[in-house]
Amino acid sequence: MRPYALLLSALCCNENVQAYSNFISNPDSHYPPSCVGSPNLLDFANKKKFFEGELALISLRNMATGESPIGAETHNAHLAAFRVPCADSNRSMVLFEFNRVEGSDPRLFKAPLVQARTADDTEHWMSLARETNTWQVGIEPWASPQNFYTGACDWGCYDVDTIFVLDEGAPEGENPWQSSGLSVADYNGSFKVVFTGGDNSELVIDVPSSEEMFDSSPPFPLSGRLSGNWVVAGAADQGFLISVSELVGDDAGGPEDHLQSPLLMFLSWYTYDAEGNLLWLTGAAQFEQGATHVSVPIELVTNGEFLGTKVADRKVVGNVTLTGNNCNDLGFEYDLNDIALGSGTKRLKRLFSLETAGYTCRDLEARIEEFAK
């Protein structure tokens, strides 16, 4: 199959990408959208702590009933700060984790105001997001000082034991989807984070650079951002259609379960047998969010009917393992000895460096740099 034929098949068939609420990823994201394979921020084994202390937060004690708050008070919460490395060089995410201090019993807390201060003392409004790449979904990006200090809780109220990613934001009264003006280089370099506490105090935290904290990048997580068309370098007129999907329907659980639900890898392999005849192989396998590789049993599809209702014959004839290297590079191990095609290890390259619309893999600056090469 010609490369352009693979491209056309993607445009008509490649709908099943990871179905989070952040389908349109933030084009101003300071970290690659593919930095982690899951929006769940609770379990990042590679994170490194760079700060630990306390911050006064506004607590809301009557929210257990769902009623509007009639009053608020401040309490100290334990705050820890981390960077989580991305597979891309000198890229990482900044996380903040808030936990209740022993002896305190707030039911909910108001997310604090937060700004990033760069080396030239310019301050940029930021937000604390519960999920990655969310375009301000489910967060408080630009709390008004009036609501913040009175404890109003129209949005942005959370359990105390909560972790956030430092993300885009804008001050109250401005377009909430406006870029903060903080660059990717600034976010991944050394800068300061300024929290405004519930008692109007400021806590200034020095954030070390990605390069300073991490010597090497972690393995690349598999996600819907790898869906698309892939080819083996040097192999003419053949390739793969790969889709990574989130389960829906009866297997998906409730609306919040997408944070932990398994993903489904599907691939179609268009190639040739030992005699040069067209060969269609397919496979599918579930895997956990954040996984960096998946093993897929391979089926040979034969004896179908053109535009008919007959179900084709399928037979398991081997296995492949896909490993994430970066946005445009997958490791590929195959074993097709059952059909006399042997076994081996190859590298898959994304066709034309194409990224699925709405599911960009790299951050904007990296994409511009790639395009300029």
For 10-65, write each residue's pLDDT tens digit: 333 333 333 344 444 566 678 888 887 766 666 666 789 999 999 888 776 544 44
Residue 267 near residue 282, CB atoms below 8 Å: yes
Q: Given this model, what pLDDT does residue 13 score?
A: 39
When comparing pLDDT for 233 and 108, which is higher? 233
What tokens were used for 193?
């984070």
Q: Given this model, what pLDDT does residue 211 score?
A: 92
When comparing pLDDT for 274 and 57, which is higher? 274
Domain residue limits, the chain: 3-21+221-372, 48-213
Is the pLDDT at 256 greater than 80? The verdict is: no
Mean pLDDT for the chain overall = 76
CA nearest 80: which of 68, 93, 97, 65? 97
Q: Given this model, what pLDDT does residue 82 score?
A: 95
Q: Tell the residue number behind the tokens 């408080």, with chain if given.
A: 140
Is the pLDDT at 181 greater than 70? The verdict is: yes
Q: Given this model, what pLDDT does residue 323 score?
A: 95
φ/ψ of residue 259, rounded to 5? -70, -25
Helix (H, G, I), strand (E, B) or coil at 279: strand
Q: Given this model, what pLDDT does residue 164 score?
A: 85
When comparing pLDDT for 211 and 149, which is higher? 211
Share of the chain above pLDDT 90, in %: 34
Helix (H, G, I), strand (E, B) or coil at 28: coil
Counting every residue written for the chain, the total comes to 373
Helix (H, G, I), strand (E, B) or coil at 245: strand
Q: What is the pTM of this model?
A: 0.75
Report the C-alpha gap between 190 and 120 in whole angstroms.
Answer: 12
Report the C-alpha gap between 335 and 344 in whole angstroms.
Answer: 7
pLDDT in tens, 88-116: 888 999 999 888 777 665 556 777 888 99
Q: In what order do the strands lie in the sheet with 73-85?
A: 157-158, 108-110, 48-60, 73-85, 92-100, 162-168, 123-129, 113-117, 191-196, 202-207
Average pLDDT over residues 249-261: 56
For residue 121, what is the DSSP state?
-
Q: Given this model, what pLDDT does residue 134 score?
A: 60
Report the C-alpha gap between 96 and 52 in whole angstroms.
Answer: 10
Report the C-alpha gap between 278 and 22 in whole angstroms.
Answer: 39
pLDDT in tens, 120-174: 999 888 888 777 766 443 334 333 333 444 444 544 556 666 788 898 765 444 4
pLDDT in tens, 288-327: 888 899 999 999 999 888 899 999 999 999 999 999 988 8
Confidence tier at 224 by pLDDT (50, 70, 90): confident
| CA torsion angle 208 209 211 213 (round to 10) | 30
- Note the Cα 92 to chain centre separation in Å: 12
What tokens were used for 99?
């936990």
Report the C-alpha gap between 54 and 101 in whole angstroms.
Answer: 9
Q: Given this model, what pLDDT does residue 269 score?
A: 95
Ranges of H-type helices in the chain: 3-13, 145-150, 184-188, 210-213, 364-372
* Neighbouring residues of 262: CB distance < 8 A, sequence distance ≥ 6: 247, 286, 287, 288, 289
Q: Given this model, what pLDDT does residue 114 score?
A: 87
